[in-house]
Structure 1
Amino acid sequence: MSRRPRAGMRSRPLRTRLLVLVTTTLVVVCVAMGLIAAFLQHAYLMGDLDDRVRHTAERALDRASLHPELKDDLTFLRESGQPAGALSARLDEDGAVVSAAVAVQDAPARELGTGRRTALAGIGADGAMHTRTVPGLGTYRVTVLGDGGVRVLAGLPVDDVQDTLSGLVLIEAGVALAGLAVAGCVCAVVVRRQLRPLSRVAATAAEVSRAPLGRGEVTAVTRVPERDTDSGSEAGQVGAALNHLLDHVKSSLAEQQRGEERTRRSEERMRRFLADASHELRTPLASIAGYAELMNRGTDRVEPVLAWRRVSAESARMTGLVEDLLLLARLDEGRALHFAEVDLAALVTEAVWDARAAGGGHDWQLELNLDAPVSVFGDQARLHQVVANLLANARTHTPAGTRVTASVESADGRCVIRVRDNGPGIPPALLPTVFEPFTRADTSRSRADAGSGGSGLGLAVAAAISTAHGGRIQVHSVPGRTEFTIDLPAALETGAGERAVSGNGAPV
């Protein structure tokens, strides 16, 4: 079962927790080093004391060996240079203390009583070090050495070592505390300095969280400064990751806004399309209904033949409009095409002849700059409709006498059809929407026949058919030159040959 951290720990800032962690670590390290140092110092001092005790015992044994018959001879303690508190004793063969004395500062050696001698009894003459507590004198480090029948005990007090070790421990503790204080201050400064970039990253994140991102608004999102995005540090990695996240958020919001804008424009186009379609359909329907009403009344003001002609004309107009709308819908669904190999040169030639027959007031020209047959895979009827629509558009929106030229060319696996005229041109404001349904320029480009205006679907149908064939249609227009370009992928050539043309720019 996992344990949750206490609320107090969670509420502490990272800087405080790091300082506590560093300080605790330093304290543990200092305590461990102090214990190790005290242990080593204690071992060193005790070793030095043992060496001195052994040296004292050897000197005492040498002195006692000169008079082995004197069992209680302790003249060794009376020699100069003996430290105060040093004790010496003579032992018999059974290890019992025969005589014992302790050196006194600036005074003769003092004999030890029976109680104190008892504390020194029972030590074997093996040279090993022993620690004994002598009543009234303190703790001693003693050893017994023997030579023949002579056994001598020598000992030095341990209190000096304990006092020295206590002093060293106090000094080390003071130095450790001072070091901890200095290290704590240094760590506080270093931690604060190292966490400063992280604080700036947190401030940036907090500022971003207050931005109105929930409403999908792409504003100037605050970013982490470049100096806080260094990948060599953890804080820099966090800053770089936050900037990367902000870039994703900004791009997502921008894409969302673009999607909303596209949806809004699509809805606007749909509303405009429905309004225009309703208007276009209402006009012929009103005409048909009006002439039918007149015919039903049998009035003499309208001849039946004329009425029937107008009804037929309006019906044909409405039928063409409905068929164009249906074609656009089917092309949008990927239907209404029957692919086969189509000779573009023949197709364009036929379309130009048809246009010449329908609009004799224009100068129609055909250019076929070909070295080999130009074929595409597509729907011949629809491609013919594209060229016919472009020629009809030029005939409708340019005055009589305008030269209209249709050309076909092939290069780099592409087939290009161009339809250009030297009419007044398309208004610049209309160019971006010229291929949208119901786009017309009746007020800007004069018509050959003001009463025969189109429905505004011809260029939209041409663009949809070109796209359905894997091609594209473009327009470039300035006063005196308007050119539509249809770019289609060519079919695989099965042979090459010469094609007779009517001439470069010669009239048909």
Structure 2
Amino acid sequence: MNLLTRNRGRLRGRSLRTRLLLFISATLVAVCATMALTTVFAQRAYLLGNLDDRVGDAAQRSLGGAELRPGFDDDLGFLAENGHAAGTLAARLNDKGAVIAAAVVSQDAPPQNLTAAQRAALKGITADGAKHTRTVPGLGTYRITVLDDNGVRVLAGLPMDDVQDMISGLVVVEAAVALAGLTVAGCLCAVVIRRQLRPLGRVAATAVEVSRSQLGHGEVTALTRVPERDTDPGSEAGQVGAALNRMIDHVESSLAERQRSEEQMRRSEERMRRFLADASHELRTPLASIAGYAELMNRGTDRIEPGLAWRRVTAESARMTGLVEDLLLLARLDEGRPLQSAEVDLAALLAEAVWDARAAGTGHEWQLQLSLDAPALVVGDEARLHQVLANLLANARMHTPVGTTVTASVEATAVHTVVVRVRDDGPGIPPALLPTVFERFTRADASRTRAGGKEGGSGLGLAIATAITGAHGGRIDVTSVPGRTEFTIELPAAELPPAEPAMGVRTARV
């Protein structure tokens, strides 16, 4: 039992190729052994049947010769008369089955009588015609039978040496052929198995290489794949290779997705920290001003006029209120809270926003351009859309010098899109600032001149415009070079009734 357990443990420790070779070798040995044994037994049965037939014929001839001399129980003269083959054994038996006389036919010599020991080997054979095998000392193994006819009993037998020699030779030949066949088959199987398992070895090597990759951390790199030649679906090894490639694809995509998520989370955390820092700074400035003026008013000093201090406190308070309201608006838009929904005429809304901008920035030249092949109607929140347009116009007013021309246009075409453009011929946005111009608290104080030396905004105007536009299913974009900066807003148009007359292109200076 322990030996069997040890052998099983050894088999488990061996490679698949070795186990396959052992299994195939054992199978071939079993098949060859079965075929050899079947052949030997079949040939032996055939030879014994042939010998038994000849033994029966010899017994019949001997019985016929003995019946010619019924009164001579010990007479074996028929052995010389009937032409028996050399080695034929014959005997006369009495009624009790005892051997009276026995002799064997010799080559070119008269029959030789058997000795007492040889006759003793013939005892106990009944006269039933069955064939028996006996070993006669000095003569070898014989196939013997006894016949009885009217009281005449004759024993006859033939040697089995030829049959045994033939069977032994057959066994030797079968063993030699089986050994040669096993050797050739084993070599062929080893070559075939080695070739067939070579792709599986390459698949295993690929799996080992992938397992050594640092998948838990670091950037995702291209993982090793199983070569295409080892992914043939027509073979088991190819199916394993193809399955491994698919698994590696899934692993790689999962790692890439995880890395993207981690990068987005990192950027989100950075934006959040920057947002909190900027918000804190923006709120701290008006709070510090309010606290300072309040302290001066509380002391009752004559260094500042109380009315002026009060106006400054009110202005800083309004500034802080506006900043908080902007932050709340961005928070609501980030949460995806629904806006009011109604049909809004962007042409009228833009004209109103341009008039308001003109009143705030008298040093600029303001133009309104309408290019309407259809009504500029959208579905959305009118107040928020007005805020978008006002922010874009305020951005152009605050970041361009006096005398700059600002052109606001709206286009409505048959492609179910309403486009609003705000263009100025100011100095432009610095290229380094352009990718982040729509991010929160982005300011270009050092690059763009503000009209009249007035204080700028908090850097939330364009971020609010982007969020509101996105909430309406639209998009906002900007292009800028020195002498031309253009913001573009695209919004989906409202469903229109049957065609209305086109309004054409109109430009107005306001």
TM bin, normalised by shorter chain, reads: 0.7 to 0.9
Does residue 443 of structure 1 match 2:482? Answer: no
Give 2:478's aligned residue. 475
Determine if contact 2:347/2:370 at 8 Å carries over to the other structure.
yes
Give 2:127's aligned residue. 123
- CA–CA distance in 1 between the matches of 2:274 and 2:170? 97
Describe the shift of the 1:497–1:135 C-alpha distance in structure 2 as closer, same or farther (beyond 3 A).
same
- CA–CA distance in 1 between the matches of 2:409 and 2:450? 20
Equivalent of residue 485 in structure 1, options 475, 483, 488: 488
- CA–CA distance in 2 between the matches of 1:4 and 1:450? 94
Describe the shift of the 1:118–1:325 C-alpha distance in structure 2 as closer, same or farther (beyond 3 A).
closer
Aligned length: 503
Describe the shift of the 1:4–1:177 C-alpha distance in structure 2 as closer, same or farther (beyond 3 A).
closer
Q: Which amino acid aligns with 2:508?
A: A
Give the deviation of 1:73 after TM superposition.
6.7
Describe the shift of the 1:149–1:339 C-alpha distance in structure 2 as closer, same or farther (beyond 3 A).
same
Give the deviation of 1:355 after TM superposition.
1.7
Give 1:419's aligned residue. 422
Task: Report SS of the residue matched to 1:453.
Answer: coil
Match runs of 1:374-393 below 5 Å: 374-393=376-395
Does residue 38 of structure 1 match 2:40? Answer: yes
Task: Report SS of the residue matched to 1:119.
Answer: coil
Determine if contact 1:101/1:112 at 8 Å carries over to the other structure.
yes
Task: Report SS of the residue matched to 1:232.
Answer: coil
For residues 317-366 of structure 1, the C-alpha deviation after alignment (integer angstroms, 9 at most, x for no partner) is: 22111111110011111226222222222222221222222223333222
Equivalent of residue 23 in structure 1, options 22, 25, 36: 25
Determine if contact 2:371/2:503 at 8 Å carries over to the other structure.
no
Give 2:432's aligned residue. 429
Give the deviation of 1:281 after TM superposition.
1.6
Give the deviation of 1:139 after TM superposition.
3.4
- CA–CA distance in 2 between the matches of 1:390 and 1:287? 28
Describe the shift of the 1:81–1:489 C-alpha distance in structure 2 as closer, same or farther (beyond 3 A).
farther
Task: Report SS of the residue matched to 1:498.
Answer: coil
Give 1:185's aligned residue. 187
Describe the shift of the 1:148–1:37 C-alpha distance in structure 2 as closer, same or farther (beyond 3 A).
same
Give the deviation of 1:389 after TM superposition.
0.8
Equivalent of residue 465 in structure 1, options 434, 443, 468: 468
Q: Which amino acid aligns with 1:401?
A: T
Q: Which amino acid aligns with 2:196?
A: Q
Q: Which amino acid aligns with 1:437?
A: R
Give 2:87's aligned residue. 85
Q: Which amino acid aligns with 2:430?
A: P
- CA–CA distance in 2 between the matches of 1:247 and 1:474? 36
- CA–CA distance in 2 between the matches of 1:140 and 1:242? 70
- CA–CA distance in 1 between the matches of 2:53 and 2:328? 117
Task: Report SS of the residue matched to 1:504.
Answer: strand
Percent identical: 69
Q: Which amino acid aligns with 1:327?
A: L
- CA–CA distance in 1 between the matches of 2:125 and 2:290? 145
Describe the shift of the 1:373–1:76 C-alpha distance in structure 2 as closer, same or farther (beyond 3 A).
farther
Task: Report SS of the residue matched to 2:372.
Answer: coil
Give 2:335's aligned residue. 333
Give 2:298's aligned residue. 296
Determine if contact 2:399/2:451 at 8 Å carries over to the other structure.
yes
For residues 188-213 of structure 1, the C-alpha deviation after alignment (integer angstroms, 9 at most, x for no partner) is: 33333333333333333233333222
Give 2:357's aligned residue. 355
Task: Report SS of the residue matched to 1:505.
Answer: strand
Gap regions ≥5 residues in structure 2: none
TM-score by length of structure 1 reads 0.87
Equivalent of residue 174 in structure 2, options 164, 172, 175: 172
Equivalent of residue 204 in structure 1, options 186, 191, 206: 206
For residues 30-71 of structure 1, the C-alpha deviation after alignment (integer angstroms, 9 at most, x for no partner) is: 222221121111112112223433444565567678888887
- CA–CA distance in 1 between the matches of 2:48 and 2:365? 126
- CA–CA distance in 2 between the matches of 1:212 and 1:189? 37
Describe the shift of the 1:427–1:68 C-alpha distance in structure 2 as closer, same or farther (beyond 3 A).
farther
Give the deviation of 1:119 after TM superposition.
3.4
Comparing 145-154 with 397-406, greater Cα deviation is found at 145-154
TM-score by length of structure 2 reads 0.86
Comparing 12-21 with 109-118, greater Cα deviation is found at 109-118
Comparing 314-323 with 8-17, greater Cα deviation is found at 8-17
Task: Report SS of the residue matched to 1:491.
Answer: coil
Describe the shift of the 1:66–1:424 C-alpha distance in structure 2 as closer, same or farther (beyond 3 A).
farther
Q: Which amino acid aligns with 2:19?
A: R
Give 1:276's aligned residue. 278
Give the deviation of 1:459 after TM superposition.
0.5
Q: Which amino acid aligns with 2:437?
A: V
Determine if contact 1:389/1:459 at 8 Å carries over to the other structure.
yes
Give the deviation of 1:164 after TM superposition.
1.8
Describe the shift of the 1:221–1:499 C-alpha distance in structure 2 as closer, same or farther (beyond 3 A).
closer
Q: Which amino acid aligns with 1:368?
A: L
Describe the shift of the 1:367–1:165 C-alpha distance in structure 2 as closer, same or farther (beyond 3 A).
same
Determine if contact 1:472/1:487 at 8 Å carries over to the other structure.
yes
Describe the shift of the 1:89–1:170 C-alpha distance in structure 2 as closer, same or farther (beyond 3 A).
same
Task: Report SS of the residue matched to 2:141.
Answer: strand
- CA–CA distance in 1 between the matches of 2:83 and 2:268? 114
For residues 288-338 of structure 1, the C-alpha deviation after alignment (integer angstroms, 9 at most, x for no partner) is: 233333333444443333333333222222211111111001111122622
Give 1:318's aligned residue. 320
Describe the shift of the 1:117–1:224 C-alpha distance in structure 2 as closer, same or farther (beyond 3 A).
closer
Task: Report SS of the residue matched to 2:249.
Answer: helix
For residues 196-233 of structure 1, the C-alpha deviation after alignment (integer angstroms, 9 at most, x for no partner) is: 33333333323333322222442343333333333333
Equivalent of residue 374 in structure 2, options 354, 372, 375: 372
Determine if contact 1:339/1:377 at 8 Å carries over to the other structure.
yes
Match runs of 1:246-257 below 5 Å: 246-257=248-259
Q: Which amino acid aligns with 2:469?
A: S
Give 2:157's aligned residue. 155
- CA–CA distance in 1 between the matches of 2:46 and 2:506? 116
- CA–CA distance in 2 between the matches of 1:10 and 1:120? 58
Give the deviation of 1:283 after TM superposition.
2.0
Q: Which amino acid aligns with 2:251?
A: V
- CA–CA distance in 2 between the matches of 1:97 and 1:443? 140
Give the deviation of 1:469 after TM superposition.
1.6
Comparing 65-74 with 369-378, greater Cα deviation is found at 65-74
Give the deviation of 1:273 after TM superposition.
1.2
Task: Report SS of the residue matched to 1:211.
Answer: coil
Describe the shift of the 1:451–1:359 C-alpha distance in structure 2 as closer, same or farther (beyond 3 A).
closer
Give the deviation of 1:259 after TM superposition.
1.7
- CA–CA distance in 2 between the matches of 1:4 and 1:324? 79
Give the deviation of 1:262 after TM superposition.
1.4
Task: Report SS of the residue matched to 2:508.
Answer: coil
Describe the shift of the 1:59–1:413 C-alpha distance in structure 2 as closer, same or farther (beyond 3 A).
farther
Task: Report SS of the residue matched to 2:270.
Answer: helix
For residues 175-195 of structure 1, the C-alpha deviation after alignment (integer angstroms, 9 at most, x for no partner) is: 323333343333333333333
Determine if contact 2:143/2:158 at 8 Å carries over to the other structure.
yes
